[in-house]
Amino acid sequence: MTDFGELAGELETLKAQGLYRFCRRVEETRGGRIRLEGRWHVHLASNNYLGLSVHPRVVAAANEATERFGTGAGSARLIGGTLSLHEALEEELAAFKQAEACLVFPTGYMANLGTVTALVGPGDLVIGDELNHASLVDACRLSRAIFRIFPHRDLQRLSEALEKRGSRYRRALIVTEGLFSMDGDQSPLAEMAQIARRFEAWLLVDDAHGTGVLGEGGRGSLAQSGVSPEGILQMGTLSKALGSLGGFLAGPREVIEILRNRARSFIYTTALPASCVAAAREALRVLQEEPVWRERLWENIRFWTEGLRRLGVRVLSQGSPIVPVWVGSNEGAMAAAQALLEAGVFAPGIRPPTVPTGSARVRTSVTAMHSREDLELALAAFEHLFQRGKALVG
């Protein structure tokens, strides 16, 4: 049983299906550009929406924290890994999300995993949007609750599933994304919150992409939808617009205490290093004190989305920094991404299982760091590709 030859066969199958994955080596990034294989490209693949990971104040805060506390936290949060920095960040995130309390995890993935598995289990129902992020899907499966899926943004089907539940289940938890990571569209949160109340279900909103971007002050999807956060479980990540690393859950105090006691991805792992915590805290401050980054982001979102539309390509979203361009086939998406790369634009092809079969796409994302020139260059590359192959016709 020491022969791994059959894995070589599996790898061949992945290649034949256009599903083989590899990590592209990034040599350097600067502003809205990225250097790959010795060549600078317009960088349309970053979730660092506001450029805060390179903001001088954020970098300085991380450096100072490293000088003071060292590079690693040294133990788990419940043992000796909790600094006053962690607690301060949790209070600030709770205030930012207008929640009672908050718990920080080492990543967003772990926040979702720990939250869902701590709150529901056998005898409970968890129901999720079909396009939910893999971390939510994994969390729902791992929870061992009955796991149901409703069609994307389909409130009718969500209600029906909850109605049928009757008294068969102890608890029901609805899980969804605020701003969907691969489609750039949003959940109808006002209606979902109503449905949750009507059927006495809990609602978990993964706002990895909305945090720092949407709503007044960048508070996220709930703020943008005008939904009171009271009683809603708000997950977010420190790793996207906040430019650091880490995830969090903000919500009612009892929920946070249960997570601290039961969420295995919080308990059995080392605390976030001080540098990440300090960077995220400073990013929150910059977000509030320097609205210019959000203004630039939104100007770029408008310019980019309208520019693509004018070319006639099929853009799947609006009003979002995530701007996917429909292709359909896996090969088509990868070929389009390759052609863009050759034209000096880095935007990944996205294939199953990240997105449903037959809906492969080129995912572009804009940030506050893009100059007008960056985006014009990228538009020219899309125009060229579009004219050449008509590959992106809607």
Ligand X SMILES: *Cc1c(COP(=O)(O)O)cnc(C)c1O
The site for ligand X (CB under 6 A) is made up of 107-109, 112, 133, 135, 177, 181, 206, 208-209, 237, 239, 247
Identify the active-site residue in 209, 265, 275, 359: 209
Locate 380 and state its tokens: 């020219």
Q: Which is nearer to ligand X, 323 or 391 (CB)?
A: 323
Q: Based on the residue annotation, tell me whether 390 is a catalytic residue of this protein.
A: no
Task: Assess contact for 44 and 268: CB atoms under 8 A.
Answer: no
In the complex, least distance from residue 248 CB atom to ligand X, rounded to whole angstroms: 9
Q: Based on the residue annotation, tell me whether 181 is a catalytic residue of this protein.
A: yes
Which residue number has the CB closest to ligand X? 108
In the complex, least distance from residue 253 CB atom to ligand X, rounded to whole angstroms: 23
* Per-position DSSP letters for 317-362, written without gaps between them: -SSSSEEEEEEESHHHHHHHHHHHHHTTEE--EE-TTTS-TT-EEE
The CA distance from 50 to 69, in Å, is: 27
Identify the active-site residue in 46, 143, 181, 365: 181
Locate 292 and state its tokens: 């210019």
Q: Strands of 349-350's sheet, edge to edge?
A: 322-328, 360-365, 349-350
Q: Which is nearer to ligand X, 283 or 339 (CB)?
A: 283
In the complex, least distance from residue 165 CB atom to ligand X, rounded to whole angstroms: 25
Q: Which is nearer to ligand X, 124 or 129 (CB)?
A: 129
In the complex, least distance from residue 170 CB atom to ligand X, rounded to whole angstroms: 26
In the complex, least distance from residue 25 CB atom to ligand X, rounded to whole angstroms: 20
Q: Where are the alpha helices (DSSP H) in the chain?
A: 5-16, 56-69, 84-96, 108-119, 134-143, 155-165, 189-198, 221-225, 253-262, 264-267, 274-289, 292-311, 330-342, 372-389
Q: Which is nearer to ligand X, 132 or 382 (CB)?
A: 132
CA distance to 111, 248, 270, 386, per residue, from 107 (Å)? 6, 8, 11, 38
Identify the active-site residue in 221, 240, 244, 275: 240
Q: Which is nearer to ligand X, 111 or 162 (CB)?
A: 111
The CA distance from 236 to 229, in Å, is: 13
Write out the catalytic residue numbers.
181, 209, 240
